[in-house]
Chain A
Amino acid sequence: MRIVDGETIISALARLIGELVTAPPSLRDAVFSTPDLSGAEREAAAILDENLRIARAEGRPLCQDCGMVQVWVKKGKFASFSGASTLRPLIDEAVRRAYRDGGLRCSMVKDPFDRKNSGDNTPASVHIEEIDGADLEFTVLLKGGGSENVSRIAMLPPSAGRAGVADIVLTVLRDAGGSGCPPYQVAVGIGGSFDTVATLAKRALLFDDDDDPELRDLILRRVPELGYGIAGFPGVRPVTAVRVATAPTHIAMLPVAVLLNCHAFRRGGVSL
């Protein structure tokens, strides 16, 4: 059994979050201004490029919504850790350090109805996947509320097929408009059950799944129907990428989760 020091986990995750807030590796080569844009969309793209530059140069958060911290852990069966009996308190301590001590915006409320801020951006959303071997891998996404709010789950009949799934994706994108900060990273989970299909969509977003190229291309071909682009202004670039993850499901079911991520795609990982 390999034992990873708990403090090593905390400090590595806190450092990673700090990097994701201002200059995430997932946006290292991002350029929003492309020659095919015009009018208001072009103005918006130039502002987003300037936003990336300022965040890097001045160490400012890319977005005031520094996100809900979503962590996917791949835990080898021969990997363990010190400092706590489960991973969650270690992850939450990393979040506390990164946000409360790092001057980032804390956006988590303790209760969905009384809406009192937890004050340190905890708890993180944690998913643990068991793998073979002795590795301990953390993939972290800082997820903004705007794009999470425009994501949807639908339970379709199997007869809907790829065309029906594409219809739902287009409907979600149409309803989202400029409210979730396009251009969007689209992640579609298909199969499983009501609870697992959302996790499937998240897996697609985190690990670049491309399980059904036919569906991915069908969605991409239909994107121009939306008629809006960057910032939701009339234009041509509402979507940056489409990722698809599929899983076995029930004979009666075709669950679909459409998860949108804003242009501030803050994803990164660390292996310990």
Chain B
Amino acid sequence: MRKIPVTDLDALRSVKAGEFVALEGVLLAMRDRTLARLSAMAERGEPLPVPLAGRVIFFAGPTPGLAEGRGAVGPTTSRRMAAYLPFLCDAGPTALVGKGLFDEKDTERLRSCNILYLQAIGGAGAYYGARTGGVATVAFEEYGPEALFELTVRDFVVMMTLDGSGAVRR
């Protein structure tokens, strides 16, 4: 299985839909509440606590204890984040990682703004937790598990679902 540094845009875009790869590096983890907040901030023209451009976003909310090596983190349902895709398209992350598929319309939206989509295995929180070396709260700590985190991961196995050529593996 190929190891892909999340900062290597060319490598990420070379992965074909249906291929499993191991992501390495720092993911931005966020879910419902942080996305709602970021999207509202962007709408008001306020600066975001961290730029999303060029980053890989993981739809997830970890357990406490991840930093002490006894936590879990895994993907949450991607299609619930569909409401925030207009914001994400403007913000320009390289890729999104989550659970399940987006519908046709949202997949087309991602394709049109050149954002890749990768699926992680839902419910494999202990597995991905063991592959997460570091966790830092970047913003919105008051949201608890829905805060904005940076996760340092290795051997983070995911399947390319919407690839750089626009092909989809369902």
Interface residues of A (CB under 8 A from B): 22, 40, 43-44, 47-48, 50-52, 54-55, 58-66, 103-107, 115, 117, 119, 144-146, 149, 177-181, 231-234, 262-264
Contacts and interface: CB of A to CB of B under 8 A. Distances in A.
Contacts of B74: 63-65
B3 interface: no
Given A59-B70, A63-B123, A264-B123, A103 B100 contact: no
Contact of B77 (A40, A47, A66, A179): A179
Contacts of B127: 47-48, 50-51, 54
Given A60-B71, A61-B63, 11 more contacts: A43-B157, A44-B121, A47-B124, A64-B61, A64-B63, A65-B61, A103-B64, A103-B65, A104-B64, A179-B79, A263-B123
A48 B129 CA distance: 13
B86 interface: no
B42 interface: no
B162 interface: no
B130 A54 contact: yes
B70 A262 contact: no
B117 interface: no
Nearest to B131: A54
A195 to B, nearest CB: 26
A115 B69 CA distance: 28
Given A47-B124, A233-B159, A106 B144 contact: yes
B24 interface: no
B99 A146 contact: yes
Contacts of A177: 100-101
A34 B144 CA distance: 38
Contacts of B119: 178, 231-232
